[in-house]
Structure 1
Amino acid sequence: MNNVLGVINLSINQPLLHELTYSRATATVPFGGRYRLIDFVLSNMVNSGINNVAVLAHNNYRSIIDHLGSGKEWDLDRKYRGLFILPPNNSHAPGFNGDLQNFYGSLEYFARSSEEFVVVSSSHMICNINYTEAVENHQRTKADITVIYKEMDDDSEDFANLITLDLDENERVVRMTENRQTKKSNKVYMRMIIIKKELLIDLVKKSVNQNYYDLVRHVIIRNLNALKVYGYEYKGYLAIINSVQNYYKYSKELLNPTVWNSLFYEPGLIYTKIKDEPPARYARSANVTNSQVANGCVIEGTVENSILFRGVRIGKGAVVRNSILMQKCVIEEDSCLDHVILDKEVYVTRGNKLAGEEMSPTVFTKKSRI
């Protein structure tokens, strides 16, 4: 899809991720043993044939630059097109009001690009989607804006802080609701839109000149009657990483092989930054069941129903259950962890007992010593 420009909008972070975003952008929160959240949307765009991708950065974007680099792992280190990290714009108004501020600051980039259409996506809606059919549907319906949505299971999802859609019989969006306490629809807006580039530029200019600042609220919702806004249903697996509880819930779902395969292999592969490390090493005393263990780990103790990122060390006699341990965590001998999330490089000294609950896992910040 050489006529489609990809834009990853990182302007709106997820404050309910708390400790996981103290030192990093939401987009670089580790997920699935070796990946970052941004890997999914970036891989989706590349797998869809989009070879010109812009990342609209916001706060803590040093971690974005460190992780993405030149875009080599996604085949975006090109002389023409490729990966562009656009720094946040703070010149139009004092303080940060909303994502339109960053779109406005990058209008020259959009104007210079040759693509006709733009796919805009956030990074916290984790899925494996090919945008080709969605773009074709956008052209077929002659929509001004196409919003991508997922019809969620009423019983398994917390709809608070999500945006839901109401559609007519022709899939035209008649209402978008920002849910606070109760939901009115189970069709969740996935923070992905398809729009003509020239229309996007025009709407951004007009909105900012009228002191509007939010892409969803002030460009899409405010113009539902004036523009032809259609919905496109995504039917694959979706993980919404907008809180610590959801992060834990969807991470644990990866232990189901069916979920893992649908998220990481269908319809395309998910790519990430390569790190050359040796395979995991299991001592004779190790006992590992129903867990994901990344390369570079050394395990001498017991690991059950857990996810271990690269370079984690589990001492002899230590027990890790129902937990997520990020890169280079060290668990000394005879310690016990249950329903715990450890950020990178956390050191748990010998004999410690750390515990949380299924609906409220205990989180320890990066480089903590316990």
Structure 2
Amino acid sequence: MNESMLGIINATYDFSSLQALTQHRSLAALPFGGRYRLVDFMLSNMVNSDIHSVAIFTGHKNRSLMDHLGSGKQWDLDRKRDGLFVFTPNSQGDNEEFGSFNHIARNMDYFLRSKQKYIVITNCHIVAAMNFKPILRRHIEAGADITEVLHDGQSLQTYIMEKDLLLDLFHQYKDKGFHSLIDVVKEQCSTLCSHKYEYDGYVAIIDSIESYYKHSIEVLKPEVWKQLFMTGEPIFTKVKDQPPTRYGKEAKVGNSMIANGSIIEGQTDNSIIFRSVKIGKGSIVRNSIIMQKSQIGENCVLDGVIIDKDVKIEDGTILTGTAEVPYVVEKGTVQGALMNS
């Protein structure tokens, strides 16, 4: 029995509530968990499920995503046969071009040439360690046309079906006003033999600043960390060779995740610190997310804050947010004590 799978990741999402973090990057490229990007999770899940051909359909603002993915080498997808395929929208496309259905129309050869019988469709903003092989087995056993993956009864917009059925749906609906593949699949779930699969592992759906902050801080909990990173199926990402983090004599670290290349001279508690971050002497960082290459001056207090990459926080600055309304500092900006007084 041919149980090989083809993977599709829809990276066209752009939630308005995340604009402060995605105005310079695609949602798929949003940093998460100290050293990863959101797309790493579903992409790694596919590789760990023995899926050797993955297509990522992107929207605009994809420069950082393309740089991150490269040839797919980090995921063992730089192959002579199959591998990683990234399909971008037309450069002059309007909003209609963001629909993955239009991407399929322009890249039909990819599907026609592929030899895999089944296809997995998912999106870029789900954080989970999910193996698709048991889902496929359940799909076959149930004799389903479409299997939809749920978590706590909520759809993850993740589907398994035969590739030929997908192509049939495309030809049936291509002239009926649909622009999203997911819209077509949801339309057909009520008429075809549809099966529901309840996934009981940890799942985070990143669709707002609040959910990004909440689930980022949740990773600091050992029970969540084990479900994401200790399953025996690693989450792969782009490797950057940097020295270990250096801790000053007065540094204090409690329940924090700190990536390599950083310099910690102050205090961090319940925080996630990305690569090459500097926290100056006398500064306190609590309940915060500090992205790569940001510089925190001396005697600062940051609590409930999300600092995007390449930000400079000047000496003596105090920034405070909450779990419900985190304080967000946008990429490449400067925050000073006088600005916030």
Equivalence for 1:258: 223
- 1:69-109 CA distances to partner (integer Å, 9 max, x unpaired)? 01111111111111111122579988436331122222221
Q: 1:36 to 1:228 in 2, by over 3 A?
A: same
Secondary structure of the corresponding residue to residue 220 of structure 1 = helix
Contact 2:244 / 2:262 at 8 angstroms: preserved in 1?
A: yes
Structure-2 separation of matches of 1:95 and 1:216: 14
Aligned pairs for 1:45-84 (under 5 A) are 45-84=46-85
Equivalence for 1:337: 302
Structure-2 separation of matches of 1:239 and 1:94: 27
Unaligned runs of 5+ in 1: 152-186
Equivalence for 1:302: 267
Q: 1:223 to 1:257 in 2, by over 3 A?
A: same
Task: Report the alpha carbon displacement of residue 335 of structure 1 after superposing the two structures with TM.
Answer: 1.1
State the superposition RMSD in angstroms. 1.7
Structure-1 separation of matches of 2:93 and 2:26: 22
**Higher mean C-alpha deviation, range 20-29 or range 56-65:** 56-65
Contact 1:11 / 1:102 at 8 angstroms: preserved in 2?
A: no
Equivalence for 1:125: 126
Contact 1:38 / 1:123 at 8 angstroms: preserved in 2?
A: yes
Structure 1 counterpart of 2:158, from 180, 192, 204: 192
Task: Report the alpha carbon displacement of residue 214 of structure 1 after superposing the two structures with TM.
Answer: 2.6
Contact 1:92 / 1:101 at 8 angstroms: preserved in 2?
A: no
Secondary structure of the corresponding residue to residue 154 of structure 2 = strand
Structure 2 counterpart of 1:208, from 174, 178, 181: 174
1:280 aligns with 2:281: no
- 1:99-153 CA distances to partner (integer Å, 9 max, x unpaired)? 31122222221111111111011011110011001111111112111111111xx
- Which AA in structure 2 matches 1:78? R
Contact 2:28 / 2:38 at 8 angstroms: preserved in 1?
A: yes
- 1:195-219 CA distances to partner (integer Å, 9 max, x unpaired)? 11111012122212112223333x1
Structure-2 separation of matches of 1:281 and 1:92: 47
- Which AA in structure 2 matches 1:147? E
Structure 2 counterpart of 1:367, from 332, 336, 341: 332
Q: 1:3 to 1:89 in 2, by over 3 A?
A: farther
Contact 1:125 / 1:191 at 8 angstroms: preserved in 2?
A: no
Aligned residues: 334
Unaligned runs of 5+ in 2: 336-341
Structure-1 separation of matches of 2:125 and 2:232: 19
Structure-2 separation of matches of 1:18 and 1:99: 21
Structure-2 separation of matches of 1:242 and 1:267: 28
Structure-2 separation of matches of 1:97 and 1:91: 12
Structure-2 separation of matches of 1:294 and 1:271: 15
Secondary structure of the corresponding residue to residue 200 of structure 1 = helix
Secondary structure of the corresponding residue to residue 119 of structure 1 = strand
Equivalence for 1:7: 8
TM-score scaled by length of structure 1? 0.87
Equivalence for 2:187: 222
Aligned pairs for 1:157-172 (under 5 A) are none
Contact 1:41 / 1:123 at 8 angstroms: preserved in 2?
A: yes
Equivalence for 1:174: none
Q: Percent identity?
A: 43
Q: 1:62 to 1:91 in 2, by over 3 A?
A: closer
Equivalence for 1:155: none
Runs of 4+ in structure 1 over 3 Å off = 89-97
Structure-1 separation of matches of 2:232 and 2:156: 18
Task: Report the alpha carbon displacement of residue 15 of structure 1 after superposing the two structures with TM.
Answer: 2.4
Structure 1 counterpart of 2:203, from 232, 238, 244: 238
- Which AA in structure 1 matches 2:191? A
Equivalence for 2:339: none
**Higher mean C-alpha deviation, range 304-313 or range 4-13:** 4-13
Task: Report the alpha carbon displacement of residue 308 of structure 1 after superposing the two structures with TM.
Answer: 0.2
Structure-1 separation of matches of 2:306 and 2:92: 38
- 1:309-349 CA distances to partner (integer Å, 9 max, x unpaired)? 00000000111111000001100111111100000010001
Structure-2 separation of matches of 1:256 and 1:18: 27
